[in-house]
Amino acid sequence: MTSQYRLKLVAVFGVLICTSPAIAAAGAFQSLSFNDAVAKASKEKKFIFIDFYTTWCAPCKMMDRDTFPAANVQKWLSEKSIALKIDAEREFALADKYRVDSYPTLLFLNPDGTEFDRIAGYVTPDDFMKFARGVEKGETSVDRMRKEMGSQINNPLMRMQLASALAGRGDYAEALTEYLWCFDNGIKNDRDFADIRNSYLIMELMNLAQFHAPTIKALADRAGAAESRLRSGHGTNADVDDLVLLNRLIDAPSRTMGTYDALVKSGADASIVKAFEPHLFDMRIASKRYGNIVAAEDIEKDIAKRLKDLSGKSSALTAIFSSDDSQRMAVRKAEAFERLMGYYQAYVGLSDHARASELADKILKVDNNPNTLNGLAWSAYLSGKATQVNVDQAEEALKPSNGASIDVLDTLVRVLDQMGRTDEAIARCKMALTNTEIEMEKRILRACLNDFGASDAS
């Protein structure tokens, strides 16, 4: 991740969703290589259907439980397709070829292997069959969505779904147009769209940016416009929120801090200055203004509150699919984790080793697990002043996986490199490369080697 705020989200949720591997190919799914599936589909004049999943993907598991076992889905897959289940992290080259960047991704291919249509995300058996019947009739999801939209042209949810479908099939410019309409006009047409705009829509835009460079410029332009309105005295609280969000996405958090400083200095409207307050902690972390963070009068009180939230009994990502109380607790725990990691980063960044050690001990007392240890080590790395203590944290976090956790290893080698122990970091990367067959892990390790100025040993 490029963002300063990379706190390894898997550290918060990982242990809760990696509960079991995806079900083995069974029923309608066939144990064939991709090339053999293409040959068989061509011979039998059938579609090729691929369920791209990962072992940690909760919606993938839900589809294995609810959608694929349905009798009508099994019948269609058996009669109309050559169906495959493919772990996207083990067959990365194939996933990369078809631009698979979210899970599950369900592909409907022509017999020659060219893409006809796709579904991104969880779908019910009925929705799956709606897609499948469209494929039979030669109708893509984009065709159907445009028909269904009809007079609801100003419905942001429908426009967002259309954009996702367009992006999935590679129509990036058209997808960007739709996404930006949702960003600019969604709330005007549906007030309830606000939460989706600032979460799922933003994630979709950042996914698009990986394939379509103009996306970043479009976001930067909107950040610039919000900043101009604020500096000219014509901005609103919504402009503050957009400025913070967009500058974070385009990796320009210092511009947000600069705008805030300028507004305070110029005596801007008090309500506008106050609108920055919920964002100030993250802004100061991003700008490494650690002194402002630790000087806060209520810091000890806030740390105590966050520790209490972190010690809550439920932290499962699956809480999102259960009770409201569990969901709220999961959100509080995630927020507490991020804030406490920020405080730890500030103490390490100020070389206040005594307070950093005291805070780490308190955090581990209520949430001692490899993910927390990894988060502490990574936070120290972000400060730019990691020490042997953080090497030890990462090493301890590696033990349960017998050194195989690439996420933790990525932290460890970057901490080592930051401390000037680059040769040791390179050796660890090269050793891990020889021990993994997973393409995604190889990419992470090669990225580390590249950052350390070393060649790929594979």
Residue 437 lies in a domain: yes
Residue 146 lies in a domain: no
pLDDT confidence tier of residue 145, bands split at 50, 70 and 90: confident
Q: Do 292 and 379 share a structural domain?
A: no
Q: Do 53 and 80 share a structural domain?
A: yes
As a whole-number percent, the residues of the chain with pLDDT over 70 amount to 91
Q: Do 156 and 130 share a structural domain?
A: no
Place of tokens 């893509």: 140
Stretch (H or E) spanning 133: helix 125-136
Residue 77 lies in a domain: yes
Residue 323 confidence (pLDDT): 55
Using CB atoms within 10 Å of the CB of residue 199, give its burial: 0 to 12 exposed, 13 to 18 middle, 19+ buried. exposed
pLDDT confidence tier of residue 313, bands split at 50, 70 and 90: low
Residue 449 lies in a domain: yes
pLDDT confidence tier of residue 324, bands split at 50, 70 and 90: low
Q: Do 120 and 32 share a structural domain?
A: yes
Domain end: 115, 139, 163, which one?
139
Residue 9 lies in a domain: no
Task: Tell me how far apart the alpha carbons of residues 129 and 137 are, in angstroms, rounded to a whole number.
Answer: 12
- In the chain, the amino acid numbered 192 is D
Q: Do 295 and 332 share a structural domain?
A: yes
Pull the structure tokens for residue 379.
């936070």
Task: Tell me how far apart the alpha carbons of residues 360 and 310 are, in angstroms, rounded to a whole number.
Answer: 13
The answer, yes or no, to whether residue 371 has pLDDT greater than 60, is yes
The answer, yes or no, to whether residue 127 has pLDDT greater than 50, is yes
Q: Do 363 and 374 share a structural domain?
A: no
The answer, yes or no, to whether residue 204 has pLDDT greater than 80, is yes
185 against 320, higher pLDDT: 185
Range of the domain at 99: 14-139
The answer, yes or no, to whether residue 263 has pLDDT greater than 70, is yes
pLDDT confidence tier of residue 66, bands split at 50, 70 and 90: very high
Task: Tell me how far apart the alpha carbons of residues 331 and 326 are, in angstroms, rounded to a whole number.
Answer: 9
Residue 7 lies in a domain: no
The answer, yes or no, to whether residue 262 has pLDDT greater than 70, is yes
Q: Do 80 and 69 share a structural domain?
A: yes
Q: Do 102 and 173 share a structural domain?
A: no
Mean pLDDT of 238-262: 93
Mean pLDDT of 136-150: 87
The answer, yes or no, to whether residue 26 has pLDDT greater than 70, is no
Q: Do 110 and 22 share a structural domain?
A: yes
B/e letters for 42-61, b = 16+ CB within 10 Å, e = fewer, are eeeebbbbbbbbbbbbbbbb
Q: Do 101 and 23 share a structural domain?
A: yes
Domain end: 163, 179, 212, which one?
212
Residue 424 lies in a domain: yes
User: Which residues partner with 81 through β-bridges?
Assistant: 47
Residue 327 confidence (pLDDT): 75
The answer, yes or no, to whether residue 3 has pLDDT greater than 50, is no
Q: How far is CA 453 from CA 330, 412, 415, 417, 439, in A?
A: 40, 17, 15, 11, 21
Task: Tell me how far apart the alpha carbons of residues 422 and 451 are, in angstroms, rounded to a whole number.
Answer: 10
Q: Do 169 and 109 share a structural domain?
A: no
Residue 375 lies in a domain: yes
Which are the contacts of 12, defined by CB distance < 8 A and separation ≥ 6?
Answer: 315, 333, 334, 337, 338, 371, 375
Domain end: 75, 110, 139, which one?
139
Q: How many domains does the chain have?
A: 5
As a whole-number percent, the residues of the chain with pLDDT over 90 amount to 72
What digits encode the pLDDT tens for the residues 402-443? 888 999 999 999 999 999 999 999 999 999 999 988 888 888
6-10, 146-150, 275-279, 295-299: range with lowest mean pLDDT = 6-10
What digits encode the pLDDT tens for the residues 372-393? 999 999 999 999 999 999 999 9
pTM of the model: 0.74
Q: Do 341 and 436 share a structural domain?
A: no
Q: What is the overall mean pLDDT for the chain?
A: 89
pLDDT confidence tier of residue 99, bands split at 50, 70 and 90: confident
